[in-house]
Amino acid sequence: DTGVSQDPRHKITKRGQNVTFRCDPISEHNRLYWYRQTLGQGPEFLTYFQNEAQLEKSRLLSDRFSAERPKGSFSTLEIQRTEQGDSAMYLCASGPTVSPTGELFFGEGSRLTVL
Amino acid sequence: AQSVTQPDIHITVSEGASLELRCNYSYGATPYLFWYVQSPGQGLQLLLKYFSGDTLVQGIKGFEAEFKRSQSSFNLRKPSVHWSDAAEYFCAVVGYNNNDMRFGAGTRLTVKP
């Protein structure tokens, strides 16, 4: 399968713990996005990478959140000192670089539950 | 900044009936518009997109959407719904030279036998 893959698919953690999610985009895509989706809502933009450069961050991304894409391939999203409000589905998407009008290809998401 | 409104949270239609899902956007210039579908446990899948040209665009699975600049709308339509169309549908907008794709809150479609 050459789609966007995310790991883990589900994560249950206790409040205050750190969690990390991984995203492997489609190999020829150098645009990579992270979104957060809560129940009954559409995906909310968190951050965007062009290759290894993090070009945009939403104000939703508090200082407890950090994302990296060290070699321009896979990306990680880390949440430190998790809070119950962090419970959500975290979606990764990738897209071709030619223009921002290209479609995004989404992974199946990583569901986080903070107890 | 661009934004998207999907006025209908939940719609129920009978199998074989026609469908229209509403989407209104707010953006200062011509946006790039998308419809995605999300089935339970699945990732978002692109149905169709509009960038320019013909305002009626065709997508996969028999869906189409019409861009109406005067109404700031991009409604999704299907002439005959199938039970497998039951899912969550999201309208999205991207501004020109902008990497921030904004999604509506979604419309959940239920299909009655």
Instruction: Give average pLDDT by consecutive 10-residue segment, chain A, 115 residues.
Output: 90 98 93 92 91 86 93 94 96 79 86 97
Q: How far apart are CA A40 and CA A45, in angstroms?
A: 16
E-assigned strand segments in B15-112? 19-21, 24-26, 32-38, 44-50, 56-58, 64-68, 73-78, 87-94, 102-103, 107-112
Contacts of B106 in chain A (CB under 8 A): 40-42
Residue the block writes with tokens 């020109």: B96
Query: What average pLDDT does the structure give for chain B?
Result: 91
User: Cβ contact (<8 Å) for B94 and A106?
Assistant: no
List the one residue out of A75, A60, A71, A83 whose CA is nearest residue A110. A75
Q: Is the pLDDT of residue B1 over 80?
A: no
Q: For residue A41, which amino acid is it?
A: Q
Q: CB distance A107–B43 less than 8 Å?
A: yes
Give the pLDDT score at B41: 79
Residue B96: which pLDDT band, with cuts at 50, 70 and 90? low
What is the DSSP secondary-structure string of A31-60?
EEEEEEE-TTS--EEEEEEETTEEEEE-TT
* Chain-chain contact of B99 with A103 (C-beta, under 8 angstroms): no
Rounded to whole angstroms, how far apart are CA atoms A18 and A76? 13
Q: What is the pLDDT of residues B14-47, one digit of tens each?
A: 999 999 999 999 887 778 899 999 998 788 999 9
pLDDT of residue A30: 87
Predicted local confidence at residue B2, as pLDDT:
76
- Mean pLDDT, range B70-84, rounded to an integer: 96
Q: Decide if A104 and B99 are in contact by the 8 Å CB cutoff.
A: no
Nearest Cβ partner for B103 among A43, A55, A58: A43
In this prediction, residue B97 carries a pLDDT of 63
